[in-house]
A and B are shown apart, each in its own frame.
Chain A
Amino acid sequence: MAASSTLAVSVWRGKESGRFQTFEVPRHESQTVLDVVTHIQRALDSTLSYRFSCRVGMCGSCAMNVNGRARWTCRTHVAEVAAGDRLEITPLANLPVIKDLVTDMTPFFDKWAKARGRFQGGRTRGHDFARVLPESRERRLADAAIECIGCGVCYSSCDVVTWNPDYLGPAALNRAWTLLNDVRDTDNRARLGAVAGDAGCHACHTHMNCTERCPMKLAPTASIAGLKRAAALAALKGELGDAVTK
């Protein structure tokens, strides 16, 4: 249990331009940052907007910036992050702010589509099951990246997204890498072209902000490095060519 019984919480109010509003929130044992925001909205100021759903780290809805770092608030204990009994909560960076702590995730998911992040199979229901050996190299590579919950923490933490708003970002590229290793997928030539352009994998500066902050402990940097290698190999073989989208 914390020494102090209250927490001073500065919360962003407004849109892109706005101000911080400070609330006094009682501390409890095992309190999460999402509990704090919920307390403010239910007991102190019902006009506060924020987003959450599952509360157990599965849905990826409740990501916010807590004391300057993007986190999933439902699985972040106040005790881990409250420096001097103070919390600063802002909406995710690199995304348009709708109101208070709610961002518009449209650009984030549009980029998944742009990176061709949708599975494209070549079989019909008339076919037998695809047989993918669990210990095969591709399956293991796909496994390493597949648990993304789409929370936007990596996208929000990425400096390259800040510098180049067209950059596809770690999550979309990580998704493309997962599908590239899916032996059932038939769209990989076009997918590699989609991620090998100016705003694709080669734009990554290997800051590793994404890998540092991913709450699922994934390494999008590894996926992006894999895409770089795959794109370079395809280019050497002359297989990339017209497929690259600028």
Chain B
Amino acid sequence: MKSDFRARNHPAYWAFIVHRASGVLLALFLPLHFWALGQALAGEAALESFLRWSDQPLVKFAETGLVLLLAAHLAGGARLLMLEFLAWRDWQKSLLAAAAAITLAAGLAFLLNIV
């Protein structure tokens, strides 16, 4: 028999889901990122017009999501490295809470900066 969601409903598993999902979404974003950088090869005007387009409020708002993904993946990754390479302590869940706090703080800082 297999376990269902009830067996997985705990903070460390949510952290795994967030880490996996943010990793996949960031990987999907990468081609767009490289394409945007590649506009510079087509000349200053092409890059400039893309950068103007990305100044729209809706695009900026979407970028907040991107910052959240990056922060979540970075903080979650740092948590995993600490967990695996430092001596084990019983504050593993505090570490998780710290990673979540860093993620939200980074997202909020970006959002407040652009508003």
Contact indicator A16/B1 (Cβ below 8 Å): yes
In the complex, which residues of chain B have a beta carbon less than 8 angstroms from the beta carbon of A65?
Answer: 1, 3, 7
Contact indicator B1/A206 (Cβ below 8 Å): no
Chain A-chain B contacts (Cβ-Cβ < 8 Å), number: 72
B interface residue count range (under 10 / 10 to 19 / 20 to 34 / 35 or more): 10 to 19
B6 within 8 A of A: yes
Question: Which stretch of B67-75, B78-86, B101-109 is in the interface?
Answer: B78-86
Contact indicator B84/A90 (Cβ below 8 Å): no
Q: Using a CB-CB cutoff of 8 Å, which residues 183-229 of chain A contact chain B?
A: 205-209, 211-213, 219, 221-222, 225-226, 228-229
13 pairs from A and B in contact (CB 8 Å cutoff) = A92-B1, A93-B2, A93-B7, A156-B3, A157-B7, A205-B16, A206-B16, A206-B84, A209-B10, A212-B10, A219-B92, A221-B92, A225-B85
Among B1, B6, B13, the residue within 8 A (CB) of A208 is B13
Among B5, B12, B16, B85, the residue within 8 A (CB) of A211 is B12
Among B2, B6, B88, the residue within 8 A (CB) of A162 is B2
Q: Using a CB-CB cutoff of 8 Å, which residues 94-121 of chain A contact chain B?
A: 94, 97
Instruction: Tell whether A228 pairs with B2 under 8 Å between CB atoms, given A159-B8, A208-B92, A211-B12.
Output: no
Contact indicator B80/A206 (Cβ below 8 Å): yes
- If over half of B's interface residues share one DSSP class (helix, strand or loop), that class is named, otherwise mixed; here it is helix
Whole-angstrom distance between the alpha carbons of A206 and B11 in the complex?
Answer: 12
Q: Which A residue sits closest to B13, measured CB to CB?
A: A207
Whole-angstrom distance between the alpha carbons of A215 and B77 in the complex?
Answer: 28
In the complex, which residues of chain B have a beta carbon less than 8 angstroms from the beta carbon of A219?
Answer: 88, 92
Whole-angstrom distance between the alpha carbons of A225 and B1 in the complex?
Answer: 28
Instruction: Tell whether A212 pairs with B84 under 8 Å between CB atoms, given A16-B1, A157-B3.
Output: no
In the complex, which residues of chain B have a beta carbon less than 8 angstroms from the beta carbon of A90?
Answer: 1
Contact indicator A93/B6 (Cβ below 8 Å): no
Among B12, B80, B85, the residue within 8 A (CB) of A212 is B12
Question: Which residues of chain B have a CB within 8 Å of any CB of chain A?
Answer: 1-8, 10, 12-13, 16, 80, 83-85, 88, 92
In the complex, which residues of chain B have a beta carbon less than 8 angstroms from the beta carbon of A156?
Answer: 3
In the complex, which residues of chain A have a beta carbon less than 8 angstroms from the beta carbon of B7?
Answer: 65, 68-70, 93, 157, 209, 213
Contact indicator A69/B12 (Cβ below 8 Å): no
Contact indicator B3/A229 (Cβ below 8 Å): no
**Nearest 6 CB-CB pairs, A to B?**
A68-B6, A208-B12, A222-B88, A225-B84, A93-B3, A212-B10
| Binary interface encoding of chain A residues 150-172 relative to chain B, with 1 for a CB under 8 A from any of its CBs, else 0 | 00000011010010000000000
> What's the minimum C-beta distance from A66 to chain B, rounded to whole angstroms?
10
In the complex, which residues of chain B have a beta carbon less than 8 angstroms from the beta carbon of A209?
Answer: 7-8, 10, 12-13
Contact indicator B1/A229 (Cβ below 8 Å): no
Among A16, A92, A162, A228, the residue within 8 A (CB) of B84 is A228
Instruction: Tell whether A68 pairs with B83 under 8 Å between CB atoms, given A208-B12, A208-B92.
Output: no
A60 within 8 A of B: no
> What's the minimum C-beta distance from A14 to chain B, rounded to whole angstroms?
11
**Residue of B1, B85, B88, B92 ringed by the most chain A CB atoms within 10 A:** B1
Whole-angstrom distance between the alpha carbons of A65 and B2 in the complex?
Answer: 10
